[in-house]
Amino acid sequence: MSEESPCGGGKPSYRIIIPVFNPPATFLDVLATLESGEPGVLANVIVVDDGSTNGTLDQLSAEHPEVEVIRGSGDLWWCGGMREGMARALEHGVDVAMWLNHDVVPDPGTVGSLVERAAGPGVGAVSAWCYCREDRRFGVNPGFRSLAEIPTAELEGEEEIEVDGVNGNCTAISTAAIRQVGLPRADLHPHYGDGPYTWRLHQAGFRNLVLTRRRAALEREFERCIDESDHSAVWQVPLLEKLRYYFFSNRSKYHWRHRFHDIRVFRGNLLAIPAYLGAQLRLVGKVLSGHRELGQPLDERIDRIVSRYSGRFPPDALREALERQAGRLA
């Protein structure tokens, strides 16, 4: 049975989908903050738990029985979790399904604004503009156009920006668009399916938008945001282990099979193979280049990297992340 929708004169109905695996206890604080900012919102939350064993989800069910929990077996990953939650949202008959990562805290009013805009005619995905929880002055690029990030000056100057695709940190999606385009292909894009899926919405003629005045705090994992050469320069493990991670780990966005499918989405079948080979060769070069710097003092390497990203990332948070990756911090 469909819930209240714009067609009936009420507010758009929605579900917020949060995929998790062994989330930290702070996840409960995130939910509490979400509820305090927009009272009643937890009744619209679907948590997709991919086989957690640390007890946080048991505590969640005890403290917030209104939150719906879907249990997975451990092989869903991010995109599979979102797919399960989106399918359940469709079963509920809501107007909007919203992606929210477990470490993202929307500012008060953000959820309502994204949902309302996503329920509009012809709209596909609508993203907030996230900022670094460590320092609000640093924004996290919310999407792309012509396969390039959106310039910060444009984000600061416009309230609403149309893009080709958005990141999945805090994003509302029209279920009308989902029904037409289908659910995400978690088998092809298990861990980084947000860009390919919202690109599919764009290709189908739906408008993807960023509401730049609607913000959300994101815990930034800075070592995953820097160039692969810099990542390799502080990751003090054998070269073979690095290459194994990049090309064969399911968590890596450069996994040989998953990256090919990503490139095929954006480049098409004809250009996919040469584009893929070129991208993977460049990756090898960057990993090798960074690995050669391991003979230099660690402090010099970290100082150089922090300086390189001056103005893009909070320097203290980036330095801490690099030192943790290098094994200096627990």
Note the pLDDT tens digit of each residue in 74-109: 899 999 999 999 999 999 999 999 999 999 999 999
pLDDT over 70 at 2, yes or no: no
Closest CA to 137 of 220, 81, 66, 75: 220
Q: What's the gap between Cα 260 and its chain centre?
A: 19
Q: What is the CATH number of domain 6-218?
A: 3.90.550.10
Tokens found for residue 40: 């009643």
pLDDT over 90 at 300, yes or no: yes
Name the one residue in this structure whose structure tokens are 């600061």. 156
Distance, in Å, from the CA atom of 283 to the CA atom of 250, rounded to the nearest integer, reads: 17
Distance, in Å, from the CA atom of 71 to the CA atom of 81, rounded to the nearest integer, reads: 10
For 136, list phi and psi in degrees, rounded to 5. -60, -20
For the chain, give me the number of helices (H) and strands (E)?
12, 13
Distance, in Å, from the CA atom of 177 to the CA atom of 95, rounded to the nearest integer, reads: 10
3-class state of residue 16 by DSSP: strand
Enumerate the domain spans of the chain: 6-218, 222-325
Tokens found for residue 326: 């290098």
Confidence (pTM): 0.93
Note the pLDDT tens digit of each residue in 128-172: 999 999 999 999 999 999 999 999 999 999 999 999 999 999 999
Residue 90: its H or E element: helix 77-92
Note the pLDDT tens digit of each residue in 17-70: 999 999 999 999 999 999 999 999 999 999 999 999 999 999 999 999 999 999
pLDDT at 73: 83
pLDDT (average), residues 247-255: 93
